[in-house]
Structure 1
Amino acid sequence: MHLYLHIPFCRQACHYCDFHFSTNLSQKSALVDALCAEISLQKGYLPGKTLETIYFGGGTPSLLTEPELAQLFETIHTHFTVSPTAEITLEANPDDLNDTPETGLSKLNVLRQYVNRLSIGIQTFDEATLRWMNRAHTATEAATCVWQAREAGFENMSVDLIYGIPNRDASLWTADLNQVLALDVPHISAYALTVEPDTAFGRWQQKGKLPPIDENLAAGQFEELVQALRDKGYEHYEISNFAKPGRYARHNTAYWQRRPYLGVGPSAHSYNGHSRQFNIANNTRYVSAVQKGELPATVEKLTTVDQVNEYLLTGLRTQWGCSLAELTTLLGANFAERQARDLTEVYNAGWLLRDNDQLRLTEAGKLFADRVAATLFVEQD
Structure 2
Amino acid sequence: MSGIYIHIPFCKQACHYCDFHFSTSIKKKGELVNMLCRELVLRKDELSSARLETIYFGGGTPSLLSAQELAEIFETIENNFEVSPDAEITLEANPDDLSDKSLKMLADSPVNRLSIGVQSFFEKDLKLMNRAHNAQEAWNSLKMAKQYFDNISIDLIYGIPGQSNEEWKQNLAKALELNIPHISSYALTVEPRTALEKFIEKGKVKPVDDEQYREQFDILLETLKSNGFEHYEFSNFGKAGYHSRNNMAYWMGKPYLGIGPSAHSFDGKSRKWIVSNNTLYIKSLEKDQIPQETEELSLTDQYNEFVMTRLRTKYGVKLSDLEEKFGHEYSRHFLENAQEFIKDDLLEEQNGTFHITQKGKFLSDGIASELFFID
Q: Residue 328 of structure 2 aligns to a residue in which SS?
A: coil
Aligned pairs (5 A) from 1:311-330: 311-330=306-325
Task: List aligned pairs for 1:77-96, cutoff 5 A.
Answer: 77-96=78-97
Q: Is 1:119 aligned to 2:120, yes or no?
A: no
Residue 69 (1) aligns with residue 64 (2): no
User: Match of 2:232, SS?
Assistant: strand
Q: Which amino acid aligns with 2:137?
A: E
Does the alignment pair 1:273 with 2:268? yes
Task: Check the 8 A contact 1:336/1:343 in 2, yes or no.
Answer: no
Q: Look up the equivalent residue of 1:32 and give its one-letter code.
A: V
Structure 1 residue 212: Cα displacement: 2.5
Query: Displacement of 1:197 after TM fit?
Result: 1.4
- Structure 2 CA distance for aligned equivalents of residues 15 and 277 of structure 1: 28
Report the TM-score when normalising by structure 1. Answer: 0.96
Most deviating of 337-346 and 127-136: 337-346
- Which residue number corresponds to residue 297 of structure 2? 302
Summarize the alignment of residues 92-171 of structure 1 with structure 2, pairs less than 5 Å apart: 92-97=93-98, 99=99, 105-114=100-109, 115-151=111-147, 153-171=148-166
Q: What code does the residue aligned with 2:122 have?
A: D
Aligned to 1:7: 8
SS at match of 2:155: strand
- Contact preservation (8 Å) 1:6, 1:268: yes
Write the deviation string for residues 304-349 of structure 1: whole angstroms up to 9, x where unpaired: 0011100111110001111111112232224342244421221122
Give the letter for the 2:63 counterpart: S
SS at match of 2:338: helix
- Unpaired stretches in structure 2, ≥5 consecutive residues: none
Helix, strand or coil for the counterpart of 2:314? coil
- Residue 207 of structure 1 deviates from its aligned partner by 2.2
CA distance 1:272–1:336, shift in 2 (3 Å): closer
Which sits farther off after the overlay, 352-361 or 334-343? 334-343
SS in 1 for 2:253: coil
Structure 1 Cα separation of the partners of residues 166 and 228 of structure 2: 23
Counting aligned pairs with the same residue, the percent is 48
Partner residue of 1:227 out of 222, 241, 258: 222
Are the structure 2 counterparts of residues 347 and 199 from structure 1 closer, same or farther at C-alpha, using a change threshold of 3 Å?
same
Report the Cα offset of residue 27 of structure 1.
1.1
User: What amino acid maps onto 1:75 in structure 2?
Assistant: T
Match of 1:28 in 2: 29
Cα deviation, residue 150, structure 1 = 1.6
Q: Secondary structure at the match of 1:205?
A: helix
* SS of equivalent to 1:26: coil
CA distance in structure 2 between the aligned counterparts of 1:54 and 1:293, rounded to whole angstroms:
23
Q: For 2:143 and 2:358, how far apart are their aligned partners in 1?
A: 33
Determine the structure 1 residue equivalent to 2:367: 372
Cα distance in 1 between the residues matched to 2:333 and 2:195: 44
For residues 350-372 of structure 1, what are the alpha-carbon distances to aligned partners after superposition, in whole Å with 9 as ceiling and x for unaligned? 11111112110000111101101
The one-letter code matched in structure 2 to 1:77 is E
SS in 1 for 2:231: strand
Residue 131 of structure 1 and its aligned partner are, at CA, apart by 1.2
Equivalent residues, number: 373
Aligned-residue offset at 1:75: 0.5
Match of 1:262 among 241, 249, 257: 257
Q: Structure 1 CA distance, aligned partners of 2:32 and 2:317?
A: 39
Q: Secondary structure at the match of 2:91?
A: strand
The amino acid across from 2:121 in the alignment is F
Distance 1:212 1:131 in 2: 17
How many Å separate the matches in 2 of 1:230 and 1:191?
16
Q: What is the match of residue 56 of structure 2?
A: 55
How much does 1:47 deviate?
A: 1.9
- Check whether the contact 1:307–1:330 (CA below 8 A) recurs between aligned residues: no
**Corresponding letter in the other structure for 2:254:** R
CA distance in 2, matches of 1:208, 1:349: 38
Partner residue in 2 for 1:348: 343
C-alpha contact 1:324 1:335 (8 A) present in aligned 2: no
Counterpart CA distance in 2 for 1:41 and 1:299 is: 16
In structure 2, how many angstroms separate the alpha carbons of the residues matched to 1:203 and 1:34? 35
Q: Tell me, in whole angstroms, the C-alpha distance in 2 between the residues paired with 1:293 and 1:177.
A: 47
Aligned to 2:6, the other structure's residue is in SS state strand
Q: 1:116 is aligned with what amino acid?
A: N
Q: Kindly provide the CA deviation profile for residues 55-112 of structure 1, in whole angstroms up to 9, marking residues without a partner as x.
A: 0000000000001001101111110111110100000000011x3xxxxx11001111
Which amino acid in the other structure matches residue 45 of structure 1?
Answer: E
Q: Deviations over 1:253-294 (max 9, x none)?
A: 100000011010000000112111111111111111111111
